[in-house]
Structures are given as structure tokens and as C-alpha cells.
Amino acid sequence: MSAFLRRRNPLRPVVLCAATVGLGIMLGGCERPPMDAVQTGYRGIGLAEVINPRLDAAKYSVNQLPVALPAAPADGPLASTVYQNIRVLKDLNVAQFTRVMLAITQWVAPPDQSCNYCHGANMASDDKYTKVVARRMIEMTRHINSDWTSHVAQTGVTCYTCHRGNAVPRNVWFTNAGQSGTTGLIAGNAGKNSPTTVAGLSALPYDPYTPFLLGDKNIRVIANDALPGGDHSSIKQTDYTYALMISMSQALGVNCVYCHNSRSFAVWDASTPKRTTAWYGIRMARDLNNNYLVPLTATFPQHRLGVLGDVAKVNCATCHQGVFKPLYGESLAKDYPELVGAMHAVAASSAPSAPADAVPVGRLYFDVDKSAKWVEGEDSLQSVVDYLKAHDTAKVSISGYHDPSGDVAHNLQLAKARAIVVRKALVSDGIAPDRVSLDKPMETTGTGDPRDARRVEVTVQQ
Ligand code: HEC
Ligand code: HEC
Ligand code: HEC
Ligand code: HEC
């Protein structure tokens, strides 16, 4: 019977073939199987990670640790006493210093250039821009490992985390200038409607990095109440948030539910702890871009800059390279204590000291959900009071912060109540009320780990 039909319908293979091509086009944007899923939450709530073993195998090969060099002996003269122009690695002895030079050559310099990539005939000279950049990168790496443990934990990073043997890390970003000459009805399309790999080939904005990983625009867009009120965001703002979220998911090779519970994307209590780590990651990327990379703009040659003349910057993919923890959470930093922090105390004369009349900053720390009285920081407040008494034209600005967990509206109240308590203390210490102003910061969620985040800052305005 079927043989009879096939003879009667000579067009059938053509139809089948067209259907296959059509299906192929439709599925063109999808990943080729096999797919696998791992349940990460209670049954029935859709918390599952979708994994593609084929793509995972490729990621696995780029996320392997290189072999660490043998540890250096702890004794011997400091490199800064032997060499002429050591400005950062002053705390290392000669053996440790040499070990760092060998390691960074292996991790960053093109193999055919070796030490010459950063040095000319005179090793002490700063003629090559790569050496100047590398010096700042060493400071940045130490800063990440010692001040951003809220994100990188004890795993830490080395130059290899970003560079992986390349002079320019594989994943960097520049501000996207967009299409030029758009006029009329489509002018000002907010970076939309041109499919972008940044946001998973969607038509969402193609540059979510400039507002969020360079600027500190608000990422949270979901309103706290159903009625029209002051806390509503536009569709445009929401588009930017989604573009960032897609790019973060791609950078880590995970789904949205790795960090969120799909029943509510906003609520922290229902989110996984990874969301908090990611929250710190966003602040860390901002810090690295603004305080390390942007100030190096003039140091880089023109051909390393973007079309708008901006420096190459860091995003989640710079370190993560497709996996949930860079290098699957293996630590190379533990084998390079030289890049984690100071190894030896450096003689006081060479360490910079605070000027005698330094302007103090008050930092008062509070317990979880408390605002009646701080638990730490009294001394810093006392130095502000002393300063104000000695400088009678100086004024202070007080800003309150909270940690990232809990309800947003409640946290705003908490941050304000904390600021008010500190203001009262200053006034009762004899500072005139008109010299003390309360200022709500742009971003009330404090930086640093949650203990540091729950604070009030008192800054002197000259
Ligand atoms: C990626 C850039 C880079 C590479 C590659 C590199 N260095 Fe360095 N080197 C630096 C930086 C940065 C300093 C200064 C460190 C500081 O100020 O603390 C430095 C300083 C030095 C100094 C001290 C010079 C002086 O008198 O002040 C010596 C010696 C040195 N490097 C040797 C080497 C050797 C040998 C190699 C190859 C195995 C090498 N470096 C590869 C960046 C590099
Ligand atoms: C968080 C990621 C990150 C880490 C960690 C990092 N770098 Fe970089 N590095 C960058 C970015 C981004 C650039 C800018 C890319 C460019 O050169 O245009 C860069 C550029 C450089 C350059 C200039 C390259 C060139 O040819 O223009 C040197 C040299 C360098 N890094 C050395 C180091 C060294 C040495 C370390 C470790 C002590 C290090 N980096 C750690 C992200 C990183
Ligand atoms: C690696 C963790 C992570 C992943 C993956 C992730 N998010 Fe987020 N998401 C966050 C963090 C952190 C914030 C809060 C950012 C802030 O406040 O600075 C956030 C905020 C949001 C918000 C705003 C919530 C509010 O309160 O207004 C939405 C909506 C959102 N994410 C959607 C998504 C979607 C959709 C995906 C998948 C495409 C996704 N997220 C993937 C970490 C993640
Ligand atoms: C300087 C390198 C670096 C950058 C940039 C970076 N991360 Fe990470 N991230 C790490 C390291 C290292 C770890 C591993 C920490 C650990 O072992 O707990 C990590 C861990 C995480 C985790 C925890 C994963 C888990 O399974 O517990 C999340 C989530 C995360 N990062 C999200 C982000 C997001 C989102 C961004 C961009 C906004 C980002 N990271 C940028 C280095 C980085």
C-alpha cells in the first residue's frame, strides 16, 4: 500500500525535503542536541540547569590550569634593594620577584617575545607601555584577591584567569558606538533591533555593559507594588536589564535559574546564594573598569583602543570564559602568594604614610536589620568630630547603606534610620545642625561584604 502511494505521489520527497529545510531554518537558532538537565530546586518549580555535554567538552579544554612554577625560598634580599625601579613588588625577595617575572611571561607575553614584550635592554626603564600596564595589572590582581573575597573567595585570580597565554584577554568589551546616521523614526533606538551576540542574538540593547559595568545605573526594575507609584521603570530600562542578564548567563554558561527563582526574579530570599555572589561580581567589574582600566587609556597605543577611543574593559566573560567558576573553581592563586598580598613587611620609610592633616572619613557599621546604634567605627566618628572642631568652615555629608539581602523598601528605611542616628550623635557632640547634611546615595546597597555594606559614611565637604 505504501509503495503504491509513493508511486502515485512523485512530489512527496520534494515536500519532505522542503519541510526538513524549513525545520532546519526554524531551529537554526537552537543548540544542537544532546541536551541534559539537572534539577537544582524542589520538584515542579522549574529550577533546572540545562547542560549540553558537547559544548561543555569544548569549554573544558580552555579551562585547564597550567602547571605552577616551583615555590620560591622565603629568605634573601628584597628585590627593591637589588633592582632600581621596583614600585609595586617591594615586598618580594629576589627569588619571589623572579618567579613572578617568569610566570607573567608564560601567562601574558606572546611566546616569541618573552621578556622583551615588556622590557628593552635596560630592565629598569619604563619605556614600553606593556610594562607600565603590567605594573598596574599586578596591583589590580592583588586588589581582587585581597579586597574582593566577597566574589572570588579564597580561589582568587592570577593574570592567567583573564589572559590564558594571550596579550589581550579573549573576552573584553568596548563601548558600542552603534549604527551611525540613524535619523527620522528610528533615531535613538536605544541600541535595540540589531541582533546582538551580547544578548543571545536577541534584539535587546547591544551594549548593556556601558550603563552597568562602567556606570552604576540601577539594574533592578521590578516595582514593589502593583499601583502606579514612584518606583516604576520603563520598558527601555527593563530591556537593558534583560540584555545584561542574558550576557551574564552566557558568560557563566548557565540559565537564569542558576541565580533566580523563576517565581520571582526580584525577591532575594527566593534567589540562590549565587545571585549574591553575582551582585558582588557586578560591583567588582565596575571597580576594575573605573579604577584600573579607564585610567590606563592614555597609556595604551591607539590600535588597542575601541572606535570611541576607549580602553578594552572587563566583563564577567573576561574571567569566567563560559563556566560558572573560572577554570572550574581550581585555584592558581594559592600557588602564587606573591599575587595575593604583601609577602614581607616593607621598611616604613618606603611605605607611603598618611599626611599629618589628612581629612578623616567616618565609617560606622551596624548589625543586621539594626539602626539604633552602630557596633563598630566609634574611633572614626571621633576623628571626624575632632576635625570639624578644628576646621569651623567644614561641613559633613552623611549617607546610609544597607546590605543586599531583604526587602528593598524596608532596606531604604533602614539606611535612612542609620544615617539619622549618626547625625544625632554629631549634633549632640556639639556640631551645629546646619553643618551636617543627610544625603541619599545613588546606590544605597553598600559595597564590600555584607558586614561592611551595613554602614553609614560621614564625609567632610570642604
Ligand atoms: C608582562 C610584562 C612583563 C614581562 C613579560 C616581564 N616583566 Fe620584568 N617587570 C615588569 C614590571 C611591571 C616590572 C616592575 C615591577 C614593579 O614596579 O614592582 C618589572 C621589573 C623587572 C626587573 C627589575 C628592573 C629594575 O632594575 O627595576 C627585572 C630584573 C625584570 N623585570 C626581569 C624580567 C625578566 C628576566 C623577564 C622574562 C623572564 C621579565 N622581567 C618579563 C613587567 C614584565
Ligand atoms: C580581570 C582580568 C585581568 C587580569 C586578572 C589581568 N589582566 Fe592584564 N589586561 C586585562 C584587560 C581587560 C586588558 C586590556 C586589553 C588590551 O590590551 O587592550 C589587559 C591588558 C594587559 C596588558 C597589555 C597588553 C597589550 O598588548 O596591550 C598587559 C601587559 C597585561 N594586561 C598584563 C597583566 C599581568 C602581568 C597580569 C597579572 C599580574 C594581568 N594582566 C592580569 C585584564 C586582566
Ligand atoms: C549569575 C547570576 C544571575 C543570572 C544567571 C541571572 N541573573 Fe538576573 N539578576 C542577578 C542579580 C545579581 C540581580 C540584581 C542586580 C543588582 O541589583 O545590581 C539580577 C536582577 C534581575 C532582574 C531585576 C530584578 C528586580 O528586582 O527588578 C531581572 C528581571 C532579572 N535579573 C532577570 C534575569 C533573567 C531573565 C535571567 C536569564 C536570562 C537572569 N536574570 C539571569 C543575577 C543573575
Ligand atoms: C576578576 C575575575 C572575575 C570577574 C570579572 C567575574 N568573576 Fe565571577 N567568579 C570569579 C571567581 C574566581 C569565582 C570563584 C569563587 C569561588 O571559588 O567561590 C567566581 C564565582 C562566581 C559565581 C559563583 C558560582 C558558584 O557556582 O558558586 C557567580 C554566580 C559569579 N562568579 C558571577 C559573576 C558575574 C555575574 C560576573 C560579572 C558581572 C562575574 N562573576 C565577574 C572571578 C570573576
| Statement: residue 247 has pLDDT above 60 | yes
Structure confidence at residue 450 (pLDDT): 82
Q: How far is the CA of 118 from the centre of ligand 1 (A)?
A: 7
Return phi, psi of residue 141, to 5°.
-65, -45
179-183, 201-205, 296-300, 359-363, range with greatest mean pLDDT: 296-300
| N-to-C CA span, the chain | 95
Residue 286: pLDDT band (50, 70, 90) is very high
Any atom of ligand 2 within 6 Å of the Cβ of 131: no
Position 315 scores a pLDDT of: 98
Using the mean position of ligand 2's atoms as its centre, give its distance from the Cα of residue 445 in Å: 30
The answer to whether residue 291 scores a pLDDT higher than 90 is yes
Ligand nearest to C-alpha 69: 1
User: What is the CATH topology of the domain spanning 189-320?
Assistant: Photosynthetic Reaction Center, subunit C; domain 2 (1.10.468)
Question: Residue range 376-402: average pLDDT?
Answer: 90
Across the range 86-105, mean pLDDT stands at 96
Q: Where do the domains of the chain lie?
A: 2-54, 79-166+340-347, 189-320, 356-461
State what percent of residues in the chain have pLDDT above 90. 59
Pocket test for ligand 1, best of 106, 119, 343 (most atoms within 8 A of CB): 119
Residue with the smallest CA separation from ligand 1 atom 37 is 115
Domains 189-320 and 356-461 fall in the same CATH topology: no
Q: What is the mean pLDDT of residues 136-149?
A: 96
DSSP string, 397-415: EEEE-B-SSS-HHHHHHHH
- Which ligand 4 atom minimizes the distance to the CA of 161? 2
User: What separation in Å is there between the alpha carbon of 125 and the centre of ligand 1?
Assistant: 10
Q: Does residue 326 have a cis peptide bond before it, meaning omega lies within 30 degrees of 0?
A: no
Tens of pLDDT, residues 420-445 = 999 999 999 999 999 999 988 878 88
**pLDDT given at position 126:** 95
List pLDDT tens digits, range 47-77. Answer: 777 777 777 777 887 788 899 999 999 999 9
Ligand 4 atom 35, closest CA? 278
pTM of the model: 0.77
Q: Which residue has the cell 567644614?
A: 394
141 lines ligand 1 (CB under 6 A): no
Measured in whole angstroms, the distance separating CA 8 from the mean position of its chain's CA atoms is 65
Domain 79-166+340-347: CATH class, spelled out? mainly alpha
C-beta of 318 in contact with ligand 4 (< 6 A): yes
Mean pLDDT lowest for which of 3-7, 204-208, 237-241, 358-362? 3-7
pLDDT for the residue 184: 54
Our CA angle for 394, 399, 401, nearest 5°, is 155
- The more confident residue out of 267 and 25 is 267
- The mean of the pLDDT values for the chain is 85
Question: What CATH superfamily classification does 356-461 receive?
Answer: OmpA-like domain (3.30.1330.60)
136 Cα to the center of ligand 2, angstroms: 9
The rounded distance, in Å, linking the Cα atoms of 115 and 142 is: 22
Cell of 190: 536605544
Phi, psi of 118 (to 5 degrees): -115, -15
